[in-house]
A and B are shown apart, each in its own frame.
Chain A
Amino acid sequence: MSKPILTIKNLTKSYGENVIFQHLDLTVNEGDTIVIIGPSGTGKSTLLRCVNLLTRPNEGQIWLDDLEITAKGTDEDQVRQHIGMVFQNFLLFNHLTALGNVKLGLTKVKKMSDEAATKKAMHELARVGLADRANHYPGQLSGGQQQRVGIARALAMDPRIMLFDEPTSALDPELIGEVLEVMRQLALDGMTMLVVTHEMGFAREVADRIVFMEKGYIVEEGSPDEMFNHPRFPRTREFLWKITELYGKKDKDAE
């Protein structure tokens, strides 16, 4: 049986009266790629932020490996360096080059020497195909390149799991392919990934499991085959049909 890296139990998040999601359970096993889909405003991004402790859940627990990271007194900074996060809007540090972006965590958090950090950062940039852009600033890179730097920045910390929050939603259609390709390769390399996306091609091809969330609940989860071909709930079928219709053409364009 595979080993769970991330375990979410009975997680609830609300802002005052406004309940984002409640009583969520989710397990991500080592090496798995889990894709979360669902309409906007369903709490998918908030869920990722809870996992990364960027927001605190109101109730429930999250474990990273055997450590309960939602426990009181957890060193958040310590936890976060083991969880890679890729944002919808890239959020690169604008005043640093691609290399500087990837190096910052290595020198400041991992306290690596400048030389060792440069070496490691160059390795990660090469991994996302951007070694030749190392000295470019974010403003000199395309959206797709910026997002790949964002992935390299997260990978450099050697995270146990990578979280992707709609990594291609802010990209022009012709730039989506290069980012998905990097993610596909990561999954093949055995990285554990939790991905929020509307890219159904990616979900169908790469995901080990697809989780359909709506209105703060997990409606259904299963393998791509189960979800696309034999969904148990009409709502799942309806959503997948709609989203494939909407994004299907873009998928083809990108590939």
Chain B
Amino acid sequence: MDFSQFISYIASGTVYTVGVTLIALPSGLLFGTILALLYVYGGKVAARLMNLYSTIFRGIPPLVLLFILFFAVTKGINLSAFWAGSLSLGIVSSAYQMEIVRGALLSVSGDQLMAARAVGLSRLQAIRNVVLPQAVRLAIPPWSNEAAIVIKDSSLVYALGVPEILRRAQLIGASSQRYLLAYMSAAVIYFLLVFGTTKILTMLEKKLAIPSNP
């Protein structure tokens, strides 16, 4: 096996890595945002429940949750390793993303919400048109951090046998006995994915920045 075959074998796992990330991150964002809105605007009981949710899922190692979901919970239904892994990571990420969105909502809310209500906007209109657009901008830097974590954590699904980058590196490393090259290749691919994503989000942050004089 020549070098380019070696590398492309590992790199073809990128499809799975990106796939897992593209399921876990957006589903985590969707749930995280809904939960954060409930946390901030849903009253005391909702806030308590959300706090509990966040505490539990941030307190369990993602790999343990992965095993619970794949080997125990979904035993009856036919959930593939790929989907079980992606969804577990999505659940863990939703807890972190909830905290990110919650922080952003809280730092915009208060006065801006009051000003919007004073104009005559309903609570929902005020949250949608005044609080959320500003909160999104505040959330991008911490969110880009979370995106990097999810990309890296996607490597955990290798434990379920999903043939993503790390799994392939392990397989080809073992068969060729070239462990260093195999894992270094995996490391470089992960790094490029994280680096590229962070760059794109920084560009987005700059593009969405609200103009102001220095």
Query: Is A157 part of the contact surface with B, judged by Cβ < 8 Å?
Result: yes
Give the secondary structure class of B's interface: helix
Report whether A89 and B134 are in contact in the complex, using a CB–CB cutoff of 8 Å. no
CB distance from B73 to the nearest CB of A (A): 42
Report whether B119 and A94 are in contact in the complex, using a CB–CB cutoff of 8 Å. no
Q: Enumerate B153-195 residues with CB–CB distance to A below 8 Å.
A: none
Docked complex Cα distance between A93 and B126 (Å): 10
Query: Is A70 part of the contact surface with B, judged by Cβ < 8 Å?
Result: no
Q: Beyond A91-B112, A108-B121: 12 further Cβ-contacts under 8 Å?
A: A87-B115, A91-B115, A93-B112, A95-B134, A95-B137, A104-B116, A104-B121, A105-B120, A109-B125, A137-B211, A140-B211, A140-B212
Query: Is A127 part of the contact surface with B, judged by Cβ < 8 Å?
Result: no
Q: Name A136's closest neighbour in chain B (CB-CB).
A: B211
Query: Is A154 part of the contact surface with B, judged by Cβ < 8 Å?
Result: yes
Report whether A139 and B211 are in contact in the complex, using a CB–CB cutoff of 8 Å. yes
How many cross-chain pairs have Cβ atoms below 8 Å apart between A and B? 72
Report whether B212 and A54 are in contact in the complex, using a CB–CB cutoff of 8 Å. no
Query: Is A179 part of the contact surface with B, judged by Cβ < 8 Å?
Result: no
Docked complex Cα distance between A80 and B119 (Å): 6
**Chain B positions within 8 Å of A52 at CB level:** 118
Report whether B119 and A105 are in contact in the complex, using a CB–CB cutoff of 8 Å. yes
Q: Name A49's closest neighbour in chain B (CB-CB).
A: B114
Query: Is B152 part of the contact surface with A, judged by Cβ < 8 Å?
Result: no
CB distance from B168 to the nearest CB of A (A): 44
Docked complex Cα distance between A105 and B134 (Å): 17
Query: Is A153 part of the contact surface with B, judged by Cβ < 8 Å?
Result: yes
CB distance from A125 to the nearest CB of B (A): 15
Docked complex Cα distance between A32 and B136 (Å): 43
Query: Is B133 part of the contact surface with A, judged by Cβ < 8 Å?
Result: yes
Docked complex Cα distance between A71 and B114 (Å): 21
CB distance from B118 to the nearest CB of A (A): 4
CB distance from A161 to the nearest CB of B (A): 13
Report whether B133 and A95 are in contact in the complex, using a CB–CB cutoff of 8 Å. yes
